[in-house]
Amino acid sequence: MTMQVEHELHHRRKGRNFGVGLLLVAFVGLIFGLTVVKTLNLGDIVDLERADRAFQPAETGTGADQ
């Protein structure tokens, strides 16, 4: 039976991988949270788009007429 001793390099690498994993989870959580908030506020955006269309000039004819 052989005892395997973990090298110091493996210990440091494991800590670094854990930190990178936490950052990745935090980033994914941030993107998910922003997506949820944006999706829940779509009613306000629809009203904004209606108001924007009201102020745009009307189109004059189609491309076939020109």
CA distance 30 to 38: 12
Query: Which pTM was predicted?
Result: 0.55
The mean pLDDT value for 31-60 works out to: 78
Q: What is the mean pLDDT of residues 13-28?
A: 96
More confident residue, 24 or 43: 24
Residue 4, pLDDT above cutoff 80: no
The predicted pLDDT at position 39 comes to 84
The residue-averaged pLDDT of 36-48 equals 77
Give the residue from 30, 21, 28 showing the smallest Cα distance to 38: 30
State the Cα–Cα distance between residues 29 and 23, nearest whole angstrom: 10
* Cα of 52 vs its chain's centroid, Å: 26
Integer Cα distance of 12 and 20 in angstroms: 12
The pLDDT-based confidence of 16 (bands split at 50, 70, 90) is very high
Give which of 36, 16, 18 is closest to 28, Cα–Cα: 36
